[in-house]
Chain A
Amino acid sequence: MITSQAPLMPAPGDMRKRPLVVMRNVSKMFSSGTLALSDMSLSVEGGEFVSLLGPSGCGKSTALRIIAGLGDVSSGTIDWPSSRINSKGLPEGDISFVFQEPTLMPWQTVFGNVHLPLKLRGFSKAAAGDEIMKTLATVGLQDFADAYPRELSGGMKMRVSIARALVTKPKLLLMDEPFAALDEITRQKLNDDVLRLWRETGITVIFVTHSVFESAYLSNRIVVMKARPGRVHADFPLVTSMSRDAHYRTSEEYRQACEKVSNMLLEAIGGEEH
């Protein structure tokens, strides 16, 4: 159980308990015959911020989709040791997904889009209204509830997408290169927002990215993956003494973290192609 006085930056070590999700020897073969994932094992504890980092084609998005229950595994198992499981083998209401594109319904307002997960569970607009507005406020969009997606900038659409993911209060947030299409300034701002939400809610995040800098800035654990076939190359914690903010971005500690992650990534790519 998370204590009420959770530390600002929970290190992976201090929350010894049952893992949230465990992948055991998972392989995934596409119908085209491509082996997207080969014998991947991963155990994620509650409260962790895990980045899946790797070159394109290393199966990191596939792994994320499999965890979300989008698509079956060819072999291996996924377990949710600390959740109640529904008939599909998924923890009901415990997972949210943020796609690379905002994936909003253009015919719905911001409010309507964030309402969707609750509407599908039978909560009316009136019943869910407070919760929706609260969640919109956490991403700074409380004044845009009645706007349509086309009226928003790329960064704002992404915030709506994050709000929609958070409105159900999930235990696990899966993010699939969510900021890859955004400009650097917007991206940094959203990185800070995600970190803040992670600290405030104690949610577990699995974040897919191909950016060394993003993964080193955000996560307290990094899983570097290798391509063809996709598998785990390295899995290590990234503990920092500083809080992660604008100051951390220019610190020596961040530079060292980036160097370490970058070397691991180079290893993963190099071992493959040379």
Chain B
Amino acid sequence: MATDPILMSAKPSLFTRNRETLLRTLIPICVVVGLILLWQVIITVNGIPQYILPGPLAVANSLYNDWGTLWPALWVTTQITLQALALALIGGVGIAIFLVQSKWIETAFYPITVILQVTPIVAIAPLILIYAPTTQVALLICAFLVAFFPILSNMVQGLKSVDHNLLNLFDLYGASRWQTLLYLKLPSSLPYFMTGLRIGGGLALIAAVVAEFAAGSAGAGSGLAFRLLESQYRLNIPRLFAALILLSVLGVVIFMITSFIAWAFLHRWHESSLKREN
């Protein structure tokens, strides 16, 4: 009885495990480096001008030289995205808890959240720009509205998917509403929350960029999206590419952070974070 079945299973030797990790890292890197080389070769061989398609060298050059302009813009976009995501997390979880309190509350308020979600953000951005005190706040509201819904709908689903027998058990032991929420409903909906977080993280960035397109065209703002448009007007295509690369790096970093948070919370117990062994 004293031996743990998990510990008893033979582990692969350190060498094979390290080799697999190494290959997992090396292969994607090689593919990306290969594609960049191919890109440079095509540009050089065909003599494509920079204002149509800049080579990777020109883009790297622009990234380095224009860092003074790009870095503050990246920072602005990052701030808006993270603030919007944080607000969406608080709002989404809070409203989800409010909605599942009773069937009538959900019937009354859920349609409103759906309307907010299905209305295209670009369409309401000009309106928000009018009402919001500053462009920053307007961008924040736009990004929040988009990121908020997947978190809300996942949380509602999670809070409703609690094991009925566990609910019975909590009733039997005379648990209060607050205890049931804290010890049962919230932990039980953690996997759903994590799905919402990952989708919401990606959407917050997209919304921040889209909203800035709308705001930027009105002549204000200094995020990456505005720099992107500006580079296009000035036919500074290498800088446009540089801004684009920064945006995708930001997206990847957000994805990695949210994935890591999900893994850190779920890997001990949830099926989605377990390795399948047969």
Contacts and interface: CB of A to CB of B under 8 A. Distances in A.
A144 B1 CA distance: 9
A197 B268 CA distance: 32
A80 interface: no
Interface string A103-125: 10111100000001101110000
B268 A120 contact: no
Contact of B188 (A97, A107, A121, A168): A107
A150 B269 contact: yes
B4 A107 contact: no
Given A99-B165, A107-B190, A151 B1 contact: no
Q: Which of B1, B6, B168, B172 has the most CB of A within 10 A?
A: B172
A65 B165 CA distance: 11
Contact of B174 (A86, A140, A149): A86
B119 to A, nearest CB: 37
Nearest to A152: B5
A120 B175 contact: yes
A57 B61 CA distance: 77
A36 interface: no
B95 to A, nearest CB: 23
A105 B188 CA distance: 8
A147 interface: yes
Nearest to A174: B172
B173 A143 contact: no
Contacts, number: 67
Nearest to A70: B168
Contacts of B179: 120
B166 A103 contact: yes
A106 B172 contact: no
Contact of B166 (A105, A119, A143, A148): A105
A151 B165 contact: no
Contacts of A69: 171-172
Interface in B172-190: 172-175, 179, 183-184, 187-188, 190
Contacts of A86: 174
Nearest to B179: A120
Contacts of A120: 170, 173-175, 179, 183
A213 B249 CA distance: 66
B66 interface: no
Interface residues of A, number: 33
Contacts of A105: 166, 184, 187-188
B270 A106 contact: yes
A249 to B, nearest CB: 23
Contacts of B165: 99, 101, 103
A148 B269 contact: yes
A92 interface: yes
Contacts of B188: 105, 107
A146 B179 CA distance: 23
B172 A68 contact: yes
B2 interface: yes
B163 A103 contact: yes
A232 interface: no
B272 to A, nearest CB: 12
A211 B126 CA distance: 70
Interface string A65-109: 100111000000000000000101010100111010101011110
Contacts of A117: 173
Contact of A116 (B5, B173, B270): B173
B218 interface: no
Interface in A128-159: 140, 143-144, 147-151, 153
Given A103-B165, A105-B166, A120-B175, A151 B190 contact: no
B5 to A, nearest CB: 7
B173 A70 contact: no
Contacts of B190: 107
Contacts of B220: none
B169 interface: yes
Contacts of B274: 150
A241 to B, nearest CB: 33
B174 A70 contact: no
Given A107-B188, A116-B183, A117-B173, 17 more contacts: A70-B168, A90-B174, A96-B172, A97-B168, A99-B168, A103-B169, A105-B166, A105-B184, A105-B187, A106-B269, A120-B170, A120-B174, A140-B1, A143-B4, A150-B269, A150-B271, A153-B5
17 contacts: A65-B168, A69-B171, A70-B172, A92-B174, A95-B172, A97-B169, A101-B165, A103-B166, A105-B166, A105-B188, A107-B187, A107-B190, A121-B173, A143-B1, A147-B4, A148-B268, A151-B6
